[in-house]
Amino acid sequence: MKLSQFKFKLPEELIASTPCEVRDESRLMVLHKDTGEIEHRIFKEIIEYFDEGDVMVFNDTKVFPALLYGNKEKTGAKIEVFLLRELNEENKLWDVLVEPARKIRIGNKLYFGDDESMVAEVIDNTTSRGRTLRFLYDGGHAEFKEALYKLGQTPLPPYIKREPNEEDPERYQCIFAEKEGAVVAPSAGFHFSRELMKRLEIKGVEAAFLTLHSGLGNYREIDVEDLTKHRMDSEDMEASEKLVDTVNSAKDAGHKICAVGTSVLRGIESAVSMGGHMKTFSGWTNKFIFPPYDFTVANSIVTGFHLPYSTMLMMECAFGGYENVMHAYEVAVKEKYRFGAYGDAMLII
């Protein structure tokens, strides 16, 4: 398929800049992929679509406060630093993006915090905006990470045009987030409250967890019209033996397997073995899913309303059918659903 096929007109006012006040009371569009039928519900009513023995697979990655602001030595110029991942604990090396990149060269020192107590030295250029920083900190690793994260802010998506506030550290995170490593939250999981999770458990719907540390590649613009030529950034993931056994047993018994979010769907498909079962997986995935694609494990997905040209929209179209999903998006715009990470939800079943 072509990139231009994933264009649609999205009024800016429909991009949510704040979350729904109550997690499980956002709006829910239900799309029946076999018929194209659309229902309009409240998210907590999602429980009506699942039965005892069904499995919901969640992404338990945890977003860390990756956005820092510092000053360049001598000039005092303000520099934005986006932490991507830690490269080496002992030497406190981090892979980062910097802005404005043209001002940051190897050998420069950056100072963070009101008292400039956190210092980093640029030791390598990795891409046009990418740098490797070595933090010059005397304490142990745990103490260093705590001090570094106190200086960081929640890495909100670039389409949310505001500074992070005091609510974002909690709300730009799923309640079951556990394994630190993401800079992009698996936002489909935002809609699940503790009460809803408990109600699902009582009904016999099993929760299973996959870990996929989503990175900034989710927001990188696709610069090719032919989607077969696009390459996704690699992301670290793990599909445990417990997850695999739970999913495969439920599938063999004829139960529903629901991927909560496109990151989970991508992770499941990265760990598919022969016969439509999952296998354990630990490593990196750069799998790019767009129509047409044959899914063999998950038969439903909880997802959000994504922006034009996004890889997440492409994955939704692959799962629910291109015409179905693009029509659902037309309806969502007309009905003023909220788009983006803090927006409303869609169940494709």
What is the DSSP secondary-structure string of 223-259? --SBGGG--PPPEEEEE-HHHHHHHHHHHHTT--EEE
Q: How confident is the model at residue 24 (pLDDT cuts 50, 70, 90)?
A: very high
Per DSSP, the three-state class of 96 is strand
Q: What percent of the chain has pLDDT over 70?
A: 100
Integer Rg of the chain from CA = 21
Give the pLDDT mean for 111-121.
Answer: 90
- Neighbour tally for 185: CB within 10 Å: 26
Beta carbons of 187 and 304 less than 8 angstroms apart: yes
The residues, ordered by sequence, that sit 6+ positions from 252 with a Cβ below 8 Å of its Cβ are none
pLDDT of 184: 93
* pLDDT tens string 160-179: 999 999 999 999 999 999 99
Q: What percent of the chain has pLDDT over 90?
A: 87
| Residue 308 token pair | 């034009």
Q: How confident is the model at residue 128 (pLDDT cuts 50, 70, 90)?
A: confident
* pLDDT tens string 102-114: 889 999 999 998 8
Q: How confident is the model at residue 25 (pLDDT cuts 50, 70, 90)?
A: very high
Q: How confident is the model at residue 212 (pLDDT cuts 50, 70, 90)?
A: very high
Give the pLDDT mean for 200-215.
Answer: 97
- The secondary structure element, H or E, covering residue 268 is helix 262-270
pLDDT of 63: 96
pLDDT of 122: 94
Residue 197 has pLDDT above 80, yes or no: yes
Residue 217 has pLDDT above 80, yes or no: no
Burial class (CB in 10 A: 0-12, 13-18, 19+), 208: buried
Please tell me which residue, 234 or 267, carries the higher pLDDT value. 267
Pairing between β-strand 78-88 and β-strand 55-59 as defined by DSSP bridges: unpaired
Per DSSP, the three-state class of 131 is strand
- The secondary structure element, H or E, covering residue 149 is helix 141-151
